[in-house]
Structures are given as C-alpha cells and as structure tokens.
Structure 1
C-alpha cells in the first residue's frame, strides 16, 4: 500500500518517462534529469543556455564564495560588460551554476551539519532577464515549472514577498503580491517580510531590489504560514526570484535603475529531496554514496540522519559535515582555489580543517580517509563537472598534504597551550585570548578545541578579549575582500546616462598602431576631445582645478588595464598648451568606454581638446614583458609537456609573473631548459603577428592557448613566428606560441633581449608561480649570479684547504656562510643558479656547524675542568666563564653536571663590551634540591638582569644586562640557597 501511494503521488514528469524511477539509477542521474527539465523549460521560453562558470575564474584573486551565477553575469548587471563580448547581447539566460557559500555576506558554513538542508557547495539552477521581462513573467514561469512540470502540489507551496521598510523609504512590493494572487495563490499563503528576508543586495553598493521566494512544506496538510522563514527543516525556501530595480549608492541611498533585471535561483539539492520524497538532502542520491563510503572508512555506526547533541547525533552531524565539505573541497580545488591564509583560500582552509576534525575526532577515520572520498565525489558530479576527473589526483594530493600539516599543527598547538598554562602565575585564571587567537589564526587550531583542552585543566579563555580579537579580524577581512572601491569608477547609472546622451564608445585602436623604424618603436600622436567628465558621483560638464576626475575621450592611445597587463602611464595637455599637464593616474575600460583617471591642474570642460602624451618607455617595457610571457608559456609546454595550463599572469614594466599547473617545482635542469628555449626564440628575432578574428574561427586554430574567461567577439589572436592566417588555414604543423590576447606586444622577439627566471615556487600544491625579468634587468641578474657564485666557490675552497683551529675563526666562517645564504636567497639571480648555490651552501653550513660543535665541546671541557679544580664538587656551583657563546656556557654546565651529578649549576658569561650577560643552569632531576626548578632559577636571575629566560625543571637558559657580574653571581647563589632550604 505504501509503495502504491508513492507511485500515485509521483509528479507528472516522473510518470511521463523523464525520470521513470529513482531507485537503481547511477548517482546524480535523477539530479541530471531534474536539471535538464529546468534547462529545457527555459530554453523553450527563449532563454539562452550558457555553461556554469568556475567557482573562481583562473587567476582571479577575488572572493567568489557567493552566488556564482550573480558573479558570472555581474558585468551585465553593473553595465560594465564589453560591448564586443557575447555577454553584451544576453537578454534571457538560464543555466545551472556551481555555488559556494562559506564566507562574506552569504555564509552557511556554521549551519552545515546541524541541519539537513544547508550546504557550503550546492548547484543553483537559475534564470536571468537583463532588461527583458520582469516580475509578472518571472513569477508565471516559476509557478508553471514547479506545479505543472515538476508536479509539486499547490497546497504545499508558500510565497514570500517584500513588505516594505519605512526607515529606508521603501514601499511594500504590492505589485508582486498582486501577481501571485492573479496566478491563483491563496492570499493566506502570500506572506510579507522585511529587508533581511526579502530584499536582495549584491554588496554595500550596486544593483539591488526586492525578492519573492517560493517555500515548500515537506509535511503538508497544515497551515504552515507561521513556519515560513523560521529556520524550520520541514518548510524550506526552494526558489528565490530577485527583482533588481534599484542601485545602492556609496552613501547608502537608493536610486532607480535605468534597466530592471531578474535573477532567480533554485537549489538543486533541495529540489531533488522534494522529488525523491526524502526528509533530508543527505538522503538523496547526491549524498548517499558519500555517506556509505564514509561508513566504510570510519569506526562508528552507520548514518542515522539524527540531529541533536547526544553522542550518536553528533556522529550523524559529522557524517553530514564531511559529506558536504568534501564536495566543496573537490569543486574549489579543481577550479584553482587552494587552502591558504587569506581571502577565499583562508575560507577553504577552514572548511578543510573542519572536515578533518570531524573525520578524525568523531568518525575516528584513519589519516587519508578524507582524500579517499574524492573519487566518490567525482563519480557523483564528474559527468556535470568533467574537471573533477582530470584534477582528481591533484585534489587528493592537496587534501592529504594539508591533513598532515593540520595534524602537526594540532600537536604544536597542544604543546603551546600546556606551555602557556605552566607559565601562568594563577593556574586557574583566564587563559590569554591573544594566545588562543594566535593558535586559531596561525595554526588553524579550532577555538572549541582550545576550550576543551582548557576545561580539563579548570581554566577558561578570556572570552571578552577573544570576542574583540575575532570582531577586529572580521572587520579587516571584510574590508580586504571588498577592497577600496574607486570613487571614479563609472557606476551603472552614469553608464546609462552616457548611453542616453549618445556618447559613443571610445575608439582605442591607436593603442595597437605603432611601428618599427630602424629598430626604434614609433608610437602615434593622439589628439582627442573630452566627451564626458565624472567626479565620482555624477557626470559633469566641468571640473575645477585640483580635483580628481574620470575623463572620457572620443579616442585614446592609452592601454586600459586588462588581460593581466598594467595600464599605460602618461599625461594630457590641453588645447595645444605645453605648460599645463594633467597626469593620468589610472586607465580602465568600463562598458566600452576607456576611462582616464586624471588630477586636474586647471579647469577641464567637455568639448576641450587634449593631446595625449604616452610614457613610451613604460609602454615598451610592458610590451617586452607581455611578449616574453607568451614565449615563456610556450617554453614551459615544450619542456614540461602539453598538460601545463596557465592559471594567471600579470605584466608590468618591471617584471612578469606567470602561474601554471605542475605537480612539483621545476628542477635545476628544467629551469635551464625553459630559459634556453626562450632564448632560442629571442635570438631568432621572430616576428610577432596579431589579427582580429571571429571568436569561433579563432578557436579552430591548433595549439591555441586560452584561459577560463569570457572573450570578446571578434577576438585578437597573437602568434609568434607564423602568420595567423597560416595557422587559421592549417597550412603548417609547426609548433609556436599562439594565444587569444588583448595586450600590446612587440613586433619582433629580439627586443626582449634576454630573460631570466628569478623565482619559481609552488604557491599551493599543484600550482607554481614564475617571476622573470628581461633586458638589462636579466643581464644584471646573470652578473649578480656570477658574482655570488664566485663568493661561494671562494668560501668552499677556504673550507676545503684547512680546518679552523679556534672557535672564533669557526664562528666567523659560519657567519660568512649565513651571510652568503641570505645573499643567495634574496638577490635577483637566475633561479636555477639559486637552487644550485643553495645546495652547495647547505653542505658548507653542515660542515661549519659540525666544526663549531666540536670546538665548543672542546672549549667547554677545558672550562669545566678549570671550574672543577677551583670549586671541587660543591652542591651549589655558581660562577662565570669567559666566552661570547651561550652554547659554550650551556655545554660547560652540562659537563659540570655530569662530573658532579648531585650539584645545581649556574654559569654566567659577561660580555664586557656590550654589558650583555649570558645565563645557563641545570638542576638534577629527583635530587634533594627538587624545590629548585631550573626554569624558575634562570627566569629569576635574568629578570633581575632586566632580561628573560626559558626552559624546564632540569635545564634553562636566558640573557640580561649588567655592569656588576660579581653582584649578580652572589644574588643567583642566594636565590638557589633559599629555594633549597625551604
């Protein structure tokens, strides 16, 4: 009977054959059909289907842990989209997006695991209208899809809308309420809510507006109105329809948008739960294979789906946390985000360590279990996101490496906690919040674990101070993520006003129109007319002296910052006058307009004629670096293989930076081969070709290198050595550098002159960063490398020739090795040479350290023998020795303690020239003098000297200052006597 009822209540799309049955289907098969139904529905209604963007585009440092769909189409909503981009023509769009919500405004991390419907990663099926339809059609399509195509019962659906906010002068969205009434939703199921629930904002500024949400009641047969937006697991939001009709200004005010847009999003996981008739998202096919795998590697009972605080309920929470977080980790790492110490990387690090804690502590899974779940994630999601298959091994490597680091951090953190507790004067007082916060921030030690460790010792953290530190950190992180928004960046309203006024897009073709004349680059002159001025708030016809403003010209020869290349530098002069200059601080491209940020020396007006003066040295340096970057990309693929992928780059006049995928850092030999390959291209002085082509035609070129970003159409193709037309017509099989690129390039590779890789290191597991210099800087780097190499060879020869006979000379040699090591580490020299010299210096360091230790032991033995002859085997031996080495003082103390095992020993060394005093002591363990601890003795003496010390009950050492060593020796001995006699 139960099975029969289930069949009868399946929605029409199950019975019609779209999905015949959930049971027996491979994981994600049901989700795939639900996803396809959504996309087909909107395609049939004129929506363009576009692929999901990465969680973070390659090389983009910004934090994208919010609705990824919104970020993908953000240029359209802000009006900044390149008019040549296919995105500029979007009117109706639909897709299914990868979304991560674990930081910033949209943060679900702390809820994950506690309930059965929050996730850090989820799929958001969305539809968009950019100036096309608005509220009525959006609501009608949403209701039709849910009730007619997915077959959701109307009596289980509730609708919320924006009820207005008098404080902000926002009226209720009665228009939306009326639309729902006309669709047929009962009035008692249309509920008003405030700003928090039903007013969507992109951030502190930008497009925003009211939203209406559709909620589903999993129980049914009741009046659930009071449960809407009440964080109830059985009545949850499934679809949000955002109506962007305002722009939030920097001052907090709202202005109507010139073009209204719609952004809707429905969580796939929640919809699958509904259509599979499950009580939890984690009971669907998207999660059950993961939960089964977790059970196989854990030492706990099978997942039971419980929520609460009992032991078994905590185990079920751990199941959910690990299953959710491993999906997030897999998707983010595959898209180029790795656990780190700032921004998105820091958030991902927190997710990883949260997953590891639950995996190890609660599920009792062995090390490596978390990474072992990645193949299951790939099995579930790999058909939708194929990059999971290609990146699977790297994802597992990153997780395993971070797990080892975290377990080490836990041990280190535990030792620091106990050391801090031992130093606390009041053993039951407040634990320093600064230490707890440092543990959490620097070592990733969970704060709740700090509380558990302290609870065992009857101590608690200074919670008030800790909350203050956390609050300050959140403020700093928030400010760093949002970044200082330029007051001169055109907003959507000013861009719309420019279009309304008919201001044409800037003609910037002159930036490419330079030539070679007798080995000298000639850049075209450029005179232009000011079409618009912007003061950060509105368009102006005039800007007075001393103001910063944005200037839009009819034409320009300046390159706007884009494609990883820095903007051009230079200045304007007005109306032919050479006496008054207007420095250009920045150049950016916004919505087809090239915007020059200028500081006015005198009044500027629209209609003024200006002459543009390009900093040609700066431009040429950028051209050199950009072409060199392309050649470097080609050389890396030639040496390391075609699987190398670019993960970001940046070009400035000073240097170039290039990020790429590779499992390990390059060897000395590989670095030399890459440089040699680059130098071959430079020496050949190959011609650099560029041509603008339709995007589809360009993508047919064999060997074309691209990155994950939206390219304009037509697109610029840059090729080295072979004309683009030959590559396009497939007239050659010769390998060469060919990329889609909007940057400015050399016309011949010989102008690079030279290239040296001065740094190469793994930024995170699987991604390396190269920093290189060119021209004279490269030549200088080679010269410096030779000079440092000669110094290392000279020192090696001296060490090989004779062994130092005195400790002073040995210390001098060790110091020389240290100085040379610093020079090798920090001087801009070829990276292959740096690695080679570092290896040589490590050998020299070991040799000098061994020599120093032997001489220290020998000197300590001599001093110990002299002190024994002077004092005999006294119970308390306090004296001074003549040395500048704390290590010698400690070794002498050790030898005295060995010769007189029952004595307490303290030695001081007074450096007369500086007044510094070195202190070391040892107290035999378990002796009659057990009331004296070495650490207490050293701390007391060094504090008496105005310094500090550390150690344990047996050995300790420290430093201080004094001009009267005799008085200090007397004081130290009296302290020991008093402690022992108690």
Structure 2
C-alpha cells in the first residue's frame, strides 16, 4: 500500500523548493498507485513515470529517438535510453542545438537488443522475460544533481507513487575493485541507509554487476540497482544477482563520474552525470502482480490475437520441458518479434542483407517459422498482428498508427518469400537426418551452411530447428565455413582513421575558453560578373592541435593530427553532404601545402584532419584554400536533391517522405517512401519537372529562422534530425519573409538544411536519374547525376536507343534472352527515360 500523501520538499543544488503544483500532481499519482493491485495499465505506468520527474523535479520530457542510431556506427540499434544523449556525455553536442541545453530530462525510449554486444534474440521465447524490443524508462542529470537526489527520487517513485512494498526491494551498490584500484561506493551505501533501506537489504557487488561502461572507452561509473522480490515475506538477499526469476532487477542508476581511456585507465569526468534505466515491461509485471512480462497488458492482447488464428491450444505460459511442442515458446517469440518488426519498420529499418537490416530479416524469419510451423497459423497471420501492436503502443509512438499499412505489406512480402524457402529447407533437413547413422546427433556443417547461404536461413534458426529434433550442428566446422565463405558486406572507410577530439580534450578547450569554430565563411561565396562562383578567401589562426589523444602545442612533419582553427571555410560532413577537400598554406611558408583529408564537427569545434608536410604550431596563421570544383559539385548535387524531393512530392503527393540522402561530388542518392517502384513514365515526369525548374533558373533563398518559428513555415519538409537554433531554411523562388507573411503553402521547395547550395537553379545544367529501385517494399532509392555526367548519360542512352530500334526492327529474329539482356543493359547504363520507354513499348511484352 502506498505511503500517505504528504507535502514533499526536496533540495536540488542547495535550493529548497516547495512546488505546490507538483504536490497536486504527486497526489494524483498516489491515488493511482492505490489501484496497483487492481490492475494499473501500462499506459498509466509510463505516464506516471514521466509526469513524476517532470512535475516534481522539473525534468524536460524528451521524446524517444528512433531505434536506428543517429550517426553512431558502433550500434546496430538503439539499445539503451542513454544512446541519444551520447553527444552530451562525450561533450560533442552542437552548442547551438537544444540538446546542449539539457540539464534534466526524462523519457521512455524504444530499444532493440538483437545483434551486436547486447543480443537477447536467441533467449526470446525460452523464458518469460527476455525481449528483442522493450521500452526503457529513464531520467538523466547532465552536470546537475547526483547520487543523493537520484536515489531519493527513485525510492520515492517506487514506494510512494507506485506503491511497491519497501520490504520487497533490495539495493545493490559497487563494492570496489582491487585490480582497478577503485574504492567501494560508500557514499551511495550511506545514502540508501539514510533513506531507510535496511542494512540486510543493501548488498555490495563488484565490477560485473555494479560498474557500468559505455564501451571499451568512454564515460562510465559505479551503479546502484534496485531489485524486486516477487515472493515476499522472507529475506531474499542471497537471490539478488543470482539469475533467479523470483528476484529481478528493475532499475539501474548509473553515476557517470569516470572516463575509460584508451589505455584502460580511469580519469574523472569534467562533469558528473546520472543515467538511469528501468525496463517498462518488467516494471509493469511487478505493478500488475505478474511473474511473467507476457502476462501483462503489453502482451496479452497480442497473445489473444495469435490464438484466434492459430490451430493450436491457447497460451498457458509454460517453459522448458513442460512446454510440449514448444507452443508457448512460439506464442512468446511471435508476440515479441512482431513488436520489434513493427517498431523497426516504422522507424525506417527494413529486412535486408547487412547490418541492422540483416538482424531484422532474421527476426522476421524466426517469427514466420514459429507462426507457420509451430502455431500452424495461415499465411498473413503475422502481419495481421500489426494493428494490435499499434493499439498497445500507438498512443506513445503514433508512427505505428501512421505506418500500419506499410508495415503489414513488408511483413507479408517477406513472409511469402521465406515460406517457400522454409518448405524446401525443411525437406533438406529431413533428408539429411534420414541419411545420418543411428545415434549420430551432429548435423553436417556443410548442409547447415548451404541452408544459410542459399536459402537465407538464419544460423540460429537452423540450430533451433535441429534442437527440436534432438540434434545440434557442428558449430566449429560451421564457423570455419563462415570465415571461408564470408559474404558479409563491409563498408570501405577509404583507409583513413578519422581524428576525433576525446572527451577530456573537448572539456579542456571549453575550460580554456577556446571559442567554438566560426564556420560561417563556408557560406561565403557569390556569383561573379562572368557567372562563375567566387569563394571568399579565408585566413585563420591555429587554436588547437590534437594528436595521439592529447592536445599538443606542435606537430611534426608526417604526424597526422586534428587542427582546430578560429574560423574556417571548409564544410564539415553533416546533413548528408560530403566534407570539403582542400589545403592550408602557412604564412611565411608559401611553398608547403597542408592537405585537408577530412573535416568533421565535434562539440562546436570544426576539426580538420591534416598530415603536415612541415611543422605546424599552435598560433600559426594559415590561409585556407578550398577544392572549389569539389565544393561546387556538391552544391549542384545538394540543390538538385531538394528539387528532386519537391518533384517527387508534386507527383506522388505529400505522403512521400524522405528516408535518407547523400550528396557527393559525383552523384546524389535519395531514399523515399513509396508504395511500389516508379514506372518509366513517372520517372520521365520527375525528370521533366526538375528540368523545368532548372530552366526557369529560380533563385535559391537561404535564411536563418528561430527553431520555434519553423512550424509557421507553410509547406516545410523536414526529416528526423536534431537541428540547431536558429536553423537555416532553404527555399526556391519564394523568399522566407514572403512565406511567413502569407501563411499559405506555395508550390515550391522549402526545407531545413545546413548544406551548401547554388544561388540559382540554372547552374545545375541537367539531371538524369540513372537508377531507381526498391530497397524494400515501401522504400525506393534514386541515384542521379548532374551536369556533364547527365549529358554523357543521355548520349549513352541515345546510342543504346538506336541499338534497341535496330533490335525492334528485327524482333522476330531476336531470342527472348538476348532481348532481356538488352533491357537489363539499358537499366545498368542508367537511362530510365526515353530508352526505357521504347523498351517498354516494343520489347518488354516479349521478355519472359
């Protein structure tokens, strides 16, 4: 039973605050907590968490980021609530962005743990608490409150608001580590004792359980965890951290106070922070009086929906040997996996062949197999569960409602593809088992690898299917085959290891009051009298040199380093646009060039990666020279990308959404949502629309607008990114002032964009779409070229067109395979307009 309502006072940073509005909010929360045992809903649990920290402790509510990490290549999926705040912990947040102002925040974050370091996929279904998708409730302090306040807030929420009996709670804290030389966290222990946690419910543990680290390097610190005893009426201290299903961890409070250096040593962080995480699914099971997460209202509607279409007994919650035929395991796996599929697809991650997409493909195929073979549900049943997922989670994540139809289409399409493979694979496994000698329990690795490579069977699914037959695969031989025949795609990183400022160096720059780089000169260009672009010269001072994870005063010849200048005209890679190329010349040393290999942003500083051809010293004066041809090519492609986005929207309607883009000097790439692949006629229409805008030579207007006013801009198109304040708005033909005054959408392109653009559209010259294909159902990718490359593509198309006309004239004598080859060649050349239309009209009907 919850504690009586009382006026709560709390001290934050030495200031006593009696917030009567917050007390009223707490009273309402407390009144709900009295109903916990009568069935508090998961929606109420989630809402109470955010309201508690927002109303009582002035935390800003931040919406969940997508499950696809923003700019973090170290992760396949967002797997913890703190992922979106890593720029704050690492000191790299753009100082102009809203994130840089965060001090206290709270949210519920969508997380996926499948693949990579944190991988729960193979455990899902076997027990009643593992998930691939889950929600992480969390509150954060960035250099604000620390241990005492964090512990007090957590205890108050659990015991007074949620009404969890304090005698069922156990708390662990960091016991210290002799090897690392870390002392026990006695401060946290004394805080918990002062709050009222009994000494026999307060338990010390070592590095494995109570010291949290972001990765091999980076912010880390001791943590304290709160555990819940499902049984009660006993002392369950010995079951804490003992993998007992009866005593489970529900909340982890991490105290970020160290940084793990590259040499594995620990240094104190410039500012201490708090990072907490509590799994919603596990908390709801506690508050709804359930031992299994799958018996809560987050899952029971799904289990009921599965049972309605399955040809097997209803779900009964059994595990292990008691689960005859693994029916209940299948129920849990399908329920979990359809949640993961729905959330990932809604966030732009689709089943594919590499990285996160490959992991999602494995999840989908695992779900299809359980649904079709174990539960004997008809084809289409898996997609039929998506509306139920939206009903459960859609209030918090409305994108699930919006994308329901597309999610179902993608699942259905992938299910149909895999079911045919599944039948064949099942026959292969059965034939192989029949050929094995009696008593042989090891399945041949070469057959398993063939199923994986040729039929797309996930290795863990093969193992699971064999396990059901009392068999196992020869894992060592399978691993050897995987190494031998490695088909995984790898990303080519151009051979350069980028120089990134580390956390302490960033903090030192800020402590030394080194000003953030003034990069406005990158926009300093104009059209000269001859119609050519003139880029303003840029003279700068070397403010900092970074080499070997340290700030230095001088670097020698041939020593790769990061150079921070007081100002720069170089564009750092961001917003989908490639970084600039060019070089420095040092004053007084005009014949020595310092080539700039890469340019990136880090916490408001533009870092130029340079391998000096001579000594470079802090305080040196340098002249910056852009590779103007490279920059201009990127400007052409970026403006063309905006026009392409607008043309697609005009043709297909405002439901078309940008799903990614990349602007390089040689081409542009644009991903967008669309129901099916575009026809040749549609591609012709898009190209014609783009050419009209180029011919009309519209002015390109670029203005800065306060972030708070962007919602007032009619017709504005945005993507899911963190924008600085103020933000740059790029519009064609119509100035921003006119758009804001009229409040009426004009038929023109208006986008938020930090990239570099042409001043008039006529300088693009021409645009040719060289390829268009569906990455997955509902998402297409266009590759296009401009200028001379576009002209050459058209000339190649005309030549090929003449060949096709010749082929068409001799159509009766041409075999179908030859004609098919000609059609594929037309596609590969990349001319999808006139030539493809001729093929469509004259030849495609004869191609088998």
Say yes or no: does 1:149 pair with 2:188: no
Verify the 8 A CA contact 1:52 1:97 in the aligned structure 2: yes
Verify the 8 A CA contact 1:703 1:738 in the aligned structure 2: yes
Say yes or no: does 1:232 pair with 2:244: yes
Instruction: Name the stretch that deviates more: 521-530 or 486-495.
Output: 486-495
2:776 to 751, 760, 764: 764
Verify the 8 A CA contact 2:175 2:183 in the aligned structure 1: yes
1:34 maps to which residue? 45
SS at structure 1 position matched to 2:250: strand
Once the two structures are superposed, residues 688-712 of structure 1 have per-residue CA deviations (whole angstroms, 9 ceiling, x without a partner) of 0000110011221011010011111
Deviation at 1:839, TM superposition (A): 7.3
SS at structure 2 position matched to 1:691: strand
Once the two structures are superposed, residues 830-858 of structure 1 have per-residue CA deviations (whole angstroms, 9 ceiling, x without a partner) of 36744753775555655xxxxxxxxxxxx
* Gap change, CA 1:72 and 1:277, over 3 Å in 2: same
**CA distance in structure 2 between the partners assigned to 1:417 and 1:294 by the alignment:** 27
2:147 maps to which residue? 135
Deviation at 1:576, TM superposition (A): 4.2
1:404 to 416, 419, 423: 416
**CA distance in structure 1 between the partners assigned to 2:685 and 2:763 by the alignment:** 21
Say yes or no: does 1:322 pair with 2:324: no
1:526 maps to which residue? 538
1:364 to 368, 373, 376: 376
1:165 to 173, 177, 183: 177
Deviation at 1:289, TM superposition (A): 1.1
Say yes or no: does 1:541 pair with 2:543: no
* Gap change, CA 1:468 and 1:227, over 3 Å in 2: farther
2:515 to 501, 504, 510: 504
Instruction: Name the stretch that deviates more: 568-577 or 832-841.
Output: 832-841
2:839 to 837, 840, 857: 837
**CA distance in structure 2 between the partners assigned to 1:737 and 1:348 by the alignment:** 34
Deviation at 1:161, TM superposition (A): 1.5
**CA distance in structure 1 between the partners assigned to 2:243 and 2:494 by the alignment:** 32
Say yes or no: does 1:726 pair with 2:738: yes
SS at structure 1 position matched to 2:141: strand
Alignment of 1:101-116 (within 5 A): 101-116=113-128
Aligned length: 825
Alignment of 1:451-466 (within 5 A): 461-466=473-478
Deviation at 1:205, TM superposition (A): 1.8
Deviation at 1:309, TM superposition (A): 1.9
**CA distance in structure 1 between the partners assigned to 2:205 and 2:491 by the alignment:** 32
Instruction: Name the stretch that deviates more: 502-511 or 729-738.
Output: 729-738
Verify the 8 A CA contact 1:718 1:741 in the aligned structure 2: yes
Verify the 8 A CA contact 1:63 1:343 in the aligned structure 2: no
Alignment of 1:924-963 (within 5 A): none
Deviation at 1:17, TM superposition (A): 3.9
**CA distance in structure 2 between the partners assigned to 1:215 and 1:756 by the alignment:** 61
TM-score computed with the length of structure 1 as normaliser: 0.79
**CA distance in structure 2 between the partners assigned to 1:446 and 1:622 by the alignment:** 40
Verify the 8 A CA contact 1:57 1:709 in the aligned structure 2: no
Verify the 8 A CA contact 2:172 2:224 in the aligned structure 1: yes
Where does the alignment leave 5 or more consecutive residues of structure 2 unmatched?
A: 5-25
Alignment of 1:814-853 (within 5 A): 817=819, 820-821=822-823, 823-830=825-832, 833-834=835-836, 837=839, 840=842, 842-843=844-845
Instruction: Name the stretch that deviates more: 108-117 or 595-604.
Output: 108-117
1:741 to 743, 753, 764: 753
TM-score computed with the length of structure 2 as normaliser: 0.91
Say yes or no: does 1:783 pair with 2:785: no
* Gap change, CA 1:61 and 1:172, over 3 Å in 2: closer
2:347 to 335, 345, 349: 335
Deviation at 1:169, TM superposition (A): 2.8
Say yes or no: does 1:663 pair with 2:675: yes
**CA distance in structure 1 between the partners assigned to 2:744 and 2:464 by the alignment:** 68
2:639 to 627, 642, 654: 627
2:90 to 78, 88, 93: 78
SS at structure 1 position matched to 2:179: helix
Where does the alignment leave 5 or more consecutive residues of structure 1 unmatched?
A: 804-809, 847-982
2:100 maps to which residue? 88
Verify the 8 A CA contact 2:555 2:617 in the aligned structure 1: yes
Once the two structures are superposed, residues 7-53 of structure 1 have per-residue CA deviations (whole angstroms, 9 ceiling, x without a partner) of 99xxx98995436757999xxx8222222221121112121111111
Once the two structures are superposed, residues 614-647 of structure 1 have per-residue CA deviations (whole angstroms, 9 ceiling, x without a partner) of 0001000000000000010000000000110011
Deviation at 1:737, TM superposition (A): 0.3
Once the two structures are superposed, residues 422-443 of structure 1 have per-residue CA deviations (whole angstroms, 9 ceiling, x without a partner) of 9999998975424413423553
**CA distance in structure 2 between the partners assigned to 1:36 and 1:463 by the alignment:** 46
* Gap change, CA 1:81 and 1:204, over 3 Å in 2: same
**CA distance in structure 2 between the partners assigned to 1:462 and 1:60 by the alignment:** 35
Say yes or no: does 1:587 pair with 2:587: no
1:945 maps to which residue? none
**CA distance in structure 2 between the partners assigned to 1:620 and 1:190 by the alignment:** 64
* Gap change, CA 1:579 and 1:473, over 3 Å in 2: same
Say yes or no: does 1:696 pair with 2:708: yes
1:378 maps to which residue? 390
**CA distance in structure 2 between the partners assigned to 1:370 and 1:83 by the alignment:** 45
Verify the 8 A CA contact 1:688 1:721 in the aligned structure 2: yes
**CA distance in structure 2 between the partners assigned to 1:179 and 1:484 by the alignment:** 50
Once the two structures are superposed, residues 226-277 of structure 1 have per-residue CA deviations (whole angstroms, 9 ceiling, x without a partner) of 1111222221111111111122223333222111111101111222211121
Query: Which structure is larger by alpha-carbon Rg, 1 or 2?
Result: 1
SS at structure 2 position matched to 1:309: helix
1:199 maps to which residue? 211
SS at structure 1 position matched to 2:606: strand
2:14 maps to which residue? none
Say yes or no: does 1:795 pair with 2:807: yes
1:516 to 527, 530, 535: 527
Alignment of 1:109-508 (within 5 A): 109-312=121-324, 314-414=326-426, 432-441=444-453, 443-447=455-459, 450=462, 461-468=473-480, 486=497, 488-508=499-519
**CA distance in structure 1 between the partners assigned to 2:847 and 2:222 by the alignment:** 67
Deviation at 1:64, TM superposition (A): 4.6
SS at structure 1 position matched to 2:781: strand
Verify the 8 A CA contact 2:150 2:253 in the aligned structure 1: yes
Instruction: Name the stretch that deviates more: 461-470 or 222-231.
Output: 461-470
Say yes or no: does 1:575 pair with 2:593: no
* Gap change, CA 1:423 and 1:460, over 3 Å in 2: same
**CA distance in structure 2 between the partners assigned to 1:599 and 1:426 by the alignment:** 66
2:32 to 9, 18, 23: 18
Deviation at 1:87, TM superposition (A): 0.7
* Gap change, CA 1:522 and 1:449, over 3 Å in 2: closer
Instruction: Name the stretch that deviates more: 77-86 or 157-166.
Output: 157-166
**CA distance in structure 1 between the partners assigned to 2:483 and 2:104 by the alignment:** 42
* Gap change, CA 1:748 and 1:419, over 3 Å in 2: farther
1:555 maps to which residue? 567
**CA distance in structure 1 between the partners assigned to 2:120 and 2:437 by the alignment:** 41
SS at structure 2 position matched to 1:303: coil
Verify the 8 A CA contact 2:712 2:743 in the aligned structure 1: no
Instruction: Name the stretch that deviates more: 640-649 or 201-210.
Output: 201-210
RMSD (Å) for aligned C-alpha atoms: 3.1
Once the two structures are superposed, residues 938-972 of structure 1 have per-residue CA deviations (whole angstroms, 9 ceiling, x without a partner) of xxxxxxxxxxxxxxxxxxxxxxxxxxxxxxxxxxx
SS at structure 1 position matched to 2:41: helix
Deviation at 1:208, TM superposition (A): 1.3
SS at structure 1 position matched to 2:810: helix
Once the two structures are superposed, residues 147-179 of structure 1 have per-residue CA deviations (whole angstroms, 9 ceiling, x without a partner) of 111111111001112222222333322222222
* Gap change, CA 1:370 and 1:197, over 3 Å in 2: same
Deviation at 1:204, TM superposition (A): 2.0
Verify the 8 A CA contact 1:581 1:601 in the aligned structure 2: yes
Deviation at 1:760, TM superposition (A): 0.7
Verify the 8 A CA contact 2:524 2:536 in the aligned structure 1: yes
* Gap change, CA 1:453 and 1:94, over 3 Å in 2: closer
* Gap change, CA 1:19 and 1:346, over 3 Å in 2: same
- Name which structure has the greater RCO, CA cutoff 8 Å, separation 6+: 2
